[in-house]
A and B are shown apart, each in its own frame.
Chain A
Amino acid sequence: MLEIKNLHASVEDKQILKGINLSVSSGEVHAVMGPNGSGKSTLAQVIAGRDTFEVTAGSVTYLGKDLLELAPEERACEGIFLAFQYPVEIPGVSNLYFLRAAVNAARKHRGEDELDAIDFMATAKKKMASLGMDNQMVSRAVNVGFSGGEKKRNEIFQMALLEPKLAILDETDSGLDIDALKTVADGVNALRGPERAIVVVTHYQRLLNYIVPDFVHVLADGKVVRSGDKSLALELEDKGYGWLGNGARPELAVRA
């Protein structure tokens, strides 16, 4: 589904990604871990199309298409979803309007009829109930005055509505209490299926107790330095990142 080869990206001449290789197939859940500043969030944002980062080398292929050629909105309509590490507050735009616009953009792209406000509300209410969300959250402005946990729930709510093919969660678990963490995990697990793939970017192993990954990758200094199965995450929890050293180990960068 997603094939990243030798991806280099920089921001203001500072090289952040220094040759990422990663392959994600349908039906898989990948965890990307690594210390602060290793390039995890940059990788997530480059896949979503943030133009702050300049891709200087390498390629990203998504469902046979050159992903880097697509605008962020085209990527979204093609089924890529990024749950933001820091969801943006947008005063003046109601969550409901925003969510419907997002769902309808994807529907329009697929050649389907757009949902009117009543149909959309019916769909939204079902998803909200399953995520244990407060009804009031949809009538408020996007993320304005939301607690940290509410913002993350709102991301998962959007994901549930948009039903992406490839979902990338950028530190969605950071700072969450156990209830919110379970909501996030339930949302992700509900989406799991043979035709979808999920990439979970996380700093902590705890989330992986609830979302069990098929593969775990460790990023350090802009490269994948280790790849393995879920036991790698436990090893990291025990030993921290120090034992990986700073040097990249290219032979481990490609998934076995």
Chain B
Amino acid sequence: MPAVTEELSTYLDIFGSRAERRRAEPDWLVERRNRGMQQFAEQGFPTTKHEEYRYTNLAPIAKTPFRIADGGTVTLDDLAPFLYNGIKGDRLVFVNGQFSRPLSNVADLKASVTTTGLLLADNPAVIAPHLARYSTERNNPLAALNSALFSDGAVVRIPEHTAWDAPVHLVFVSTADAPDTVTHPRVLVIAGRDSEASVIETHCGIGDTPYWTNAVTEIVAADNARLDHYRLQQETLSAFHTSLVEIHQGRDANVTTHSVSFGGALVRNDVEVVLEDENSECTMNGLYAINGRQHVDNRTCVDHTMPHCTSHQLYKGVLDGYARGVFGGKIIVRPDAQKTDAFQSNKNLLLSENADVNTKPQLEIDANDVKCSHGATIGQIDDEAAFYLRSRGLGESEARSLLTYAFAADLLERMKFAPVCDRFESLLMAKLVQQRASKP
């Protein structure tokens, strides 16, 4: 179909124009980039005919010939709503996909927190076993496109037997100065054996023209590593955001990934977790609070390959206005994965009769001695609870806000950095007030 070719040709052209740049890169990376481009060219943008995109139409992204973003200026003041003064620790800022040294705050860029560019130049062997290896094995054309085209990204290496007190904060900001630009943010986290750390990713925008963020994060947690990962999506309401988080865990590794989606016009987040060795544990927390005509689709997949592994998923959505939420969660238990303990729950609170949710849990169990459960709920503010609060003197909107907060409270409280938790608590409240105010 000519239309499809046209949709893809933009990206094939960009890829072609970068042949020179690729010549400076190691062979293994060029090979992975070629494979990524090939996968994308073969599959194109997923359509609603794909079961996993049934409720999310990416046509608005596919139809727009996005140009690679570059340039743009941002000040620390512009970034204030996305930074946390109360949190110490290294910060890497990427503006329109380019690393910004002045906005970043890292003691020694050559050490554990750096950019893919610098690490590729200095020590490619460190990332060769990991970078773009996992994501290109996925059947995910958008992640493949990222692999083909990403330029700057962040690499976080937590050395063996090391515990970091402060989190690393990675900020990807789009300025959207000109319409229809795209960035392909890339993150690689290598958590060494017996290490412990936290990584916060913020994806945000400050302009008001449409742009697209197509992000990929790969996390490798070696034996007994503990990692707390946050993905805070605060794009503008004109933005498209697609992402893949790919997590591979070794023996006794324990990873928690928090996915918070408050921004974006059209958002699709994929989380793929592979528990590769015994006694590995993964917790996936998701919170989406959307209104207006926002559309947020979260898809998770946990692959239990070995015995005695645990996975917990709790995704909650607060939807107002004409917002649409989608959740698809899959748990795979392989024949060897006896004594698996897997739990999945998706709960939605609809604040408006025009908001809408599609939720679909899936289990594929090939072992016989496992504990798996899943459930989904879609509800409204409990009238009886609201009346109870009002009968004690709380105003109607105060009662609604308190009950909405209460619905999201357990997920907010799981974010262990108080400034992050507080920020999103007030963003949630502001979102509710904004929506109420815009109603007649």
Query: Chain A contacts of B384 at CB under 8 A?
Result: 88
Q: Across the two chains, which residue of chain B brings its CB closest to A87?
A: B388
Query: Chain B contacts of A71 at CB under 8 A?
Result: 390, 396
A121 contacts chain B at the CB level, 8 A cutoff = no
Interface readout for B133-152 with A: 1 if CB under 8 Å, 0 if not?
Answer: 00000000000000000000
A126 contacts chain B at the CB level, 8 A cutoff = no
Q: Across the two chains, which residue of chain B brings its CB closest to A50?
A: B387
Whether the Cβ atoms of A90 and B393 lie closer than 8 Å is no
Decide: A88 near B393, CB < 8 A? Known: A93-B402, A93-B406, A101-B402: no
Tell me the bound Cα distance from A162 to B342 in angstroms.
Answer: 45
Decide: A48 near B391, CB < 8 A? Known: A71-B396, A88-B384, A88-B385: yes
Interface readout for A71-106 with B: 1 if CB under 8 Å, 0 if not?
Answer: 111011100011010011111110000100110011
Query: Chain A contacts of B393 at CB under 8 A?
Result: 73, 76-77, 101-102, 105-106, 109, 162
Query: Chain B contacts of A76 at CB under 8 A?
Result: 390-393
Whether the Cβ atoms of B385 and A90 lie closer than 8 Å is yes
Whether the Cβ atoms of B406 and A72 lie closer than 8 Å is no
Q: Nearest Cβ distance between residue A33 and chain B, in whole angstroms?
A: 23
Most buried by B among A50, A88, A91: A88
Whether the Cβ atoms of B396 and A158 lie closer than 8 Å is no
Query: Chain A contacts of B66 at CB under 8 A?
Result: none
Query: Chain B contacts of A73 at CB under 8 A?
Result: 390-391, 393-396, 399
Q: Nearest Cβ distance between residue B381 and chain A, in whole angstroms?
A: 11
Decide: A72 near B385, CB < 8 A? Known: A90-B403, A90-B406: no
Q: Nearest Cβ distance between residue B380 and chain A, in whole angstroms?
A: 15
Decide: A105 near B394, CB < 8 A? Known: A90-B388, A98-B389: yes
Decide: A88 near B388, CB < 8 A? Known: A52-B383, A93-B402, A101-B402: yes
- Give the size of the chain B interface in residues (CB under 8 angstroms): 24
Query: Chain A contacts of B53 at CB under 8 A?
Result: none
> Which residues of A, 143-185, contact B by the 8 Å Cβ criterion?
158, 162
B382 contacts chain A at the CB level, 8 A cutoff = yes
Whether the Cβ atoms of B391 and A49 lie closer than 8 Å is yes
Most buried by A among B391, B396, B402, B406: B391
B366 contacts chain A at the CB level, 8 A cutoff = no
Tell me the bound Cα distance from A84 to B387 in angstroms.
Answer: 11
> Which residues of B, 71-106, contact A by the 8 Å Cβ criterion?
none
Tell me the bound Cα distance from A88 to B408 in angstroms.
Answer: 18
Tell me the bound Cα distance from A108 to B92 in angstroms.
Answer: 46
Tell me the bound Cα distance from A87 to B387 in angstroms.
Answer: 11
Whether the Cβ atoms of B390 and A49 lie closer than 8 Å is yes
Q: Across the two chains, which residue of chain B brings its CB closest to A106?
A: B393
Query: Chain B contacts of A105 at CB under 8 A?
Result: 392-395
B407 contacts chain A at the CB level, 8 A cutoff = yes
Query: Chain B contacts of A75 at CB under 8 A?
Result: 391
Whether the Cβ atoms of B392 and A158 lie closer than 8 Å is yes
Q: Across the two chains, which residue of chain B brings its CB closest to A90?
A: B385
Query: Chain B contacts of A89 at CB under 8 A?
Result: 385
**What are 21 pairs between A and B in contact, CB < 8 Å?**
A48-B391, A49-B387, A49-B391, A73-B390, A73-B391, A75-B391, A76-B392, A84-B388, A84-B391, A88-B382, A90-B388, A90-B403, A91-B410, A92-B405, A92-B406, A92-B407, A93-B402, A101-B394, A101-B398, A101-B402, A158-B392
Could you list which residues of chain A lie within 8 angstroms of chain B, going by C-beta atoms?
Answer: 48-52, 71-73, 75-77, 81-82, 84, 87-93, 98, 101-102, 105-106, 109, 158, 162
